[in-house]
């Protein structure tokens, strides 16, 4: 049964409402537009049931804000009724472009600030919604998901805090380690991945890309990204390789042990296009080092695919590596904030995730199964078949 048929044959749990925090308003608007179009196309006769109140609407977005006092303190305000609704709250904790004033000084919002604003909006709901779901594409503190010494467990603590505030489900993308959901075993936690969107963007921007063993190889830049590369290579039917990081565990720089070298395990990459797949680009230094090493091994084109492009050190080194031919394309999603300058980069490709998010929200609102609907394997195979591969 197709997704459209599933939605037509089920009732919504409750009237749908969508909160797009200031950090992800552009993405929220795109998602809203897709849901509006879905519901115009998938239902012909609206029932008299109260569950269909506002089923067809031109806008599911809730009017809300989080203003600040001069001291930097804030509050959450919801400006319309959300009583009895199936409420989805979207937030981008990595949007550093937003600012606020503290005693006359301008501060850029950190992930901590965004997380506090999320809790303020949840608090403003005051338990009146029928169900609460948080959509946090980049999972807050997801890189601090385990304890290796006497240190905090920030991600687990944040998840527990959200569930204690009444959140039923948490939706994220490409969680650094999905096992962090063990912190909230009785609540919903889903981590989705964007391989289908990557492939669509790749084939659109690189029409002559050949997805077979003779011409393509998938590379994991470290041990942590292995499962992503294994899935990608299996679906595409190509070989994979892996780099592992040799670190200096005697020192700590910027909160982590510095990488001494990247060592490669895998077949010969000479003459092949290679796709490096990972969950995020932070500073990008390790990703660029891997790209250079692949070019040194005579790889043809090096394509970087990553769910989150944070680019904490800017784009200068990426520009340099593109000009030197070390990288051909960098693909990342629009799930987190991207500065406008990326549109000027000849190597940069954005994989739009708004339709994917809209399908997830619409399916959850109808309480239909997501596993079969959202599995990208069949879609990727159909895409390959369409290209005659």
| CB 336 within 8 Å of CB 310 | yes
Q: CA angle, 298 as apex, 295 and 299 as ends, to 5°?
A: 65
**Residue 199 token pair:** 């492939």
DSSP 257: P
| CB 15 within 8 Å of CB 55 | yes
Query: Within 10 Å of residue 296's Cβ, how many Cβ atoms?
Result: 10
Which residue bears the tokens 């619409």?
362
The dihedral over CA atoms of 285, 289, 290, 291, expressed in degrees to the nearest 10, equals 100
Dihedral of alpha carbons 111, 115, 118, 124, sign: negative
Report d(CA 152, CA 167) in Å as an integer: 23
Q: Is 104 left (phi over 0), alpha (psi -120 to 50) or beta?
A: left
Distance of CA 300 to the CA centre of its chain: 29
How distant, in Å, are the alpha carbons of 32, 71, 76, 370 from that of 18? 8, 30, 15, 19
Report d(CA 229, CA 51) in Å as an integer: 43
H-state helical runs in the chain: 3-8, 25-42, 111-125, 154-164, 195-205, 226-236, 285-296, 316-323, 354-365, 371-374, 377-386
Backbone angles phi, psi at 208, to 5 degrees: -90, 10
Q: What is the pLDDT of residue 133?
A: 96
Q: What is the pLDDT of residue 372?
A: 58
Q: Is 231 left (phi over 0), alpha (psi -120 to 50) or beta?
A: alpha
Q: What's the longest Cα–Cα distance across the chain? A: 68
| CB 86 within 8 Å of CB 131 | yes
Report d(CA 352, CA 207) in Å as an integer: 18
DSSP 182: G
Q: Average pLDDT for consecutive 10-residue bins of the chain (389 residues)?
A: 59 90 95 90 58 78 94 94 94 95 93 96 93 96 84 92 95 90 92 88 89 90 84 89 77 72 81 92 88 91 93 92 94 94 93 93 87 72 75
Dihedral of alpha carbons 360, 361, 363, 369, sign: positive
Question: Which residues touch 299 (CB under 8 Å, ≥6 apart)?
Answer: 217, 269, 270, 271, 272, 273, 274
Closest-CA residue to 387 (of 204, 198, 193):
204
Q: CA angle, 243 as apex, 144 and 247 as ends, to 5°?
A: 55
Q: What is the pLDDT of residue 1?
A: 47
Q: Is 68 helix (H, G, I), strand (E, B) or coil?
A: strand
Q: CA angle, 167 as apex, 166 and 170 as ends, to 5°?
A: 165
Distance of CA 75 to the CA centre of its chain: 27
**Residue 87 token pair:** 């409420």
| CB 257 within 8 Å of CB 247 | yes
């Amino acid at each position: 049964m197709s997704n459209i048929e599933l939605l037509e044959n089920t009732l919504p749990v409750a009237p749908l409402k969508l909160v797009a925090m200031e950090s992800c308003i552009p993405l929220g608007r795109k998602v809203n537009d897709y849901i509006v179009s879905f519901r115009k196309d998938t239902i012909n006769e609206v029932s008299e049931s109260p569950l269909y109140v506002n089923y067809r609407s031109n806008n599911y977005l809730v009017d809300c804000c989080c203003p600040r006092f001069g001291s930097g303190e804030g509050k959450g305000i919801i400006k319309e009724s959300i009583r009895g609704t199936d409420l989805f709250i979207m937030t981008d904790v990595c949007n550093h472009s937003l600012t606020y004033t503290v005693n006359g000084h301008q501060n850029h919002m950190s992930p901590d600030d965004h997380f506090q604003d999320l809790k303020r909006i949840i608090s403003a709901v005051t338990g009146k919604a029928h169900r609460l779901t948080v959509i946090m594409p980049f999972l807050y503190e997801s890189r601090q998901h385990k304890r290796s010494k006497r240190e905090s467990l920030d991600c687990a603590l944040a998840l527990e805090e959200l569930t204690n505030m009444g959140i039923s489900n948490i939706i994220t993308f490409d969680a650094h380690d999905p096992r962090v959901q063990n912190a909230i075993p009785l609540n919903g936690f889903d981590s989705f991945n964007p391989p289908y969107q990557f492939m669509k963007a790749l084939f659109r921007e690189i029409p002559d890309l050949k997805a077979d063993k003779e011409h393509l190889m998938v590379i994991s830049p470290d041990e942590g990204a292995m499962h992503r590369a294994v899935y990608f290579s299996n679906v595409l039917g190509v070989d994979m390789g892996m780099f592992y990081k040799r670190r200096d565990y005697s020192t700590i720089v910027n909160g982590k042990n510095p990488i001494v070298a990247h060592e490669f395990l895998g077949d010969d990459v000479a003459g092949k296009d290679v796709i490096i797949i990972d969950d995020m680009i932070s500073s990008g230094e390790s990703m660029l080092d891997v790209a250079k090493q692949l070019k040194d091994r005579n790889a043809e084109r090096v394509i970087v695919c990553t769910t989150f492009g944070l680019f904490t050190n800017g784009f200068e080194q990426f520009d340099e590596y593109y000009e030197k031919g070390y990288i051909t394309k960098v693909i990342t999603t629009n799930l987190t904030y991207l500065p406008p300058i990326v549109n000027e980069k000849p190597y940069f490709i954005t994989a739009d995730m708004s339709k994917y998010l809209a399908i997830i929200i619409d399916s959850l609102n109808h309480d239909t199964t997501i596993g079969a609907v959202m599995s990208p394997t069949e879609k990727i195979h159909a895409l390959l078949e369409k290209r005659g591969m």
